[in-house]
Structure 1
Amino acid sequence: MSWTYRHRKVLVMGTIAVSLALLIAAALYMLMQHTDQQQKQQQMKEEYERQIQQLKNEEQQNSRNVWMTAKTIPAGVAIKADDLKSVPIPVSLAPPGVITDRESIIGKNAKIELASGTPLLSSLLYEGQSIPKDLRLQEFQVIQLPSNLKPNQFIDVRIGFPTGEDFVLLSKKKVQELTGTVVWLELNEMDILQTSSAIIDAYLQGARLYALPYIEPGLQDAAVVNYPANQKVLDLMAVDPNLLETAKFELARTLRQTLDGNLKAVSESDKLRVTSGSVTVQQQLQNERTTMRQGNAMSEAQPANTPQLGESAISTNSSQSATNDSGTNSSSSETSQQPSSPAGSTSLPSGTPPATEAPPANGDQWENIFNQ
């Protein structure tokens, strides 16, 4: 084998070895580059995932789950669990009054027709029975209210007559609004008609409308309404198309006839005493005692042959007290303060000089008596 051949063979083998070394080096380099790239990608992925999770956390903190209708719900229909779906909404976009508690929605009724995807607000739902079509909010200024009455309390409105009879007019009504002596109550058609009759009774018969609050409305049942309206209102109730229920009007008519008979048996003076209160009666008694004392003092001051002026003053004041019983309180108080008025002196005999013509020696004494 020649030298050239051997030299060429060594050269080829060296070239192959170098090529293999280069290939191995390149493979190692590529492997290292690939590993480094994977590490960088993993780091980038982790960074992106961290940022995404951070954004999700921020979104959860700045948003709330709002319950919406999954389908159209007609007005007055109760909402069930299948009718709801939860949708997260940013806090800045959530409407005020939106409901986030699912349990507080189930069982309530829709006030209006709710289309699919409508956020459920507290103002769109109501609890309990459906609202009657004849329910109205009415203002009253003629009801005597307790001094400690507050809104949202429940009250009975009663009517008391001068005969002592007392009836329940409105039962367990919630005070919607309250301003001083003005109260707002929710009434149906029957309540409105009976209240109108009661107001007329209060004006004509001297009755009194007053309110009594409940102590524990949740535990106490509503009182039974037993006020009999007047005949014209009862006739209207029998034919009123706005009334939802038919009442036993014959029983109400019987009660009303009994009440009218009892009211006719009471005199006008007795009605006045009841409506005026005990203060007026006490004042009348005090005026009569004062008049009696003044008449006795005048009788003692007169000469023996002078008729008793006190008796005429007493008789005059007795007639004035009777006038006071018929309703003239102001004139009675003026008469009681002037027991020796000309009306009293006219009752003296014709031969007796009037009290103003007393002898000069007793002038100071008469003046003192008149000033008492």
Structure 2
Amino acid sequence: MGIRLRTKKLIYSGLAGAGITLILTSAGGYVAYNKVQEHEIALKQEYKGKMEALQSVADQSENALALNRKVEKGEQITEAMLEPVYVPKGAAAGDRILNNTFEAGDTPYFAKTDLTANTILTESIVYAEEMITNDIREGEYSFIELPSKLQVDKYVDIRIQFPSGDDFVLFAKKKVKDVQGVTMWVDVDEGEIMTMSSAIVDAYVSGAKIYAMPYVDEHMQQNSEMTYPVKLNVKELIQKDPNIVNIAKLNLEQQNRARVEENLKVMDEMTRDKVKTGDEATKNAVNKDKERRSAEERVNSYNDQAQKEQAELVGGGKGGSN
């Protein structure tokens, strides 16, 4: 009986130990399994991140240039200000400027407006100086009516206006190289020289005026279209007598000078009127000041006399009582 009881206890103890061992083994296996799963998940996330990074690099497949610092409006953009970058194909501007443009070094670019660092360089935000070709000459014109506030380095359209009201563009977006009084200097090519010759004769014959009109923001505004139609009869007139261009030019210069003189005369008259008016106002102010001072002096004199008489009366009264 006792042997059986001990046997049962041993069996129960073995079963309990096996159960505990099984539980511990299962728990350890579960923990190990979880660690393996976590490691696999981490590896998958890492792999996914690398794939996304590689895909992002693959998407950034278009070359471009970005500014490495702030650039102010009108400042020249040099190669040292730029860094090569890659941009997504879908976001790459069609007019972006590539590095080989600056490597050639032929065309200087300038900022149309203030630009921040990391801005991608495109044709729409810069402007290029005109290339000097073999037929470019410096034109000097003294018959063009100029705006009163015209300054050097501003851009203008040169236009012609006829008495009928027709108005045409002769030159589009010309940079003013210099301006002195009624004379302006701009660069013109051979075709523009011929166009201006025709316009000079046209203005002389038709009584038209040639004038300059400045741009509000020459860097952001597009060029006007040249719309002046050279007339055949004017061409024939020039061919028949080339000297007529000089005659017409001289006539227009004299007209322009006469107009300026007339404006100066009007201004002189206005100045004289202002001076005259100012003199009269000054005289009136001086006379009023004299009258005010005279009145103050009379009042002060009257007060002094009254005080003196009062003092004498007071003094006489005291002597009589003694």
Which is richer in helix? 2
Q: Same fold (TM over 0.5)?
A: no
Which protein, 1 or 2, shows the higher relative CO under an 8 Å CA cutoff with sep ≥ 6? 2
So what's the TM-score if we normalise by structure 1?
0.31
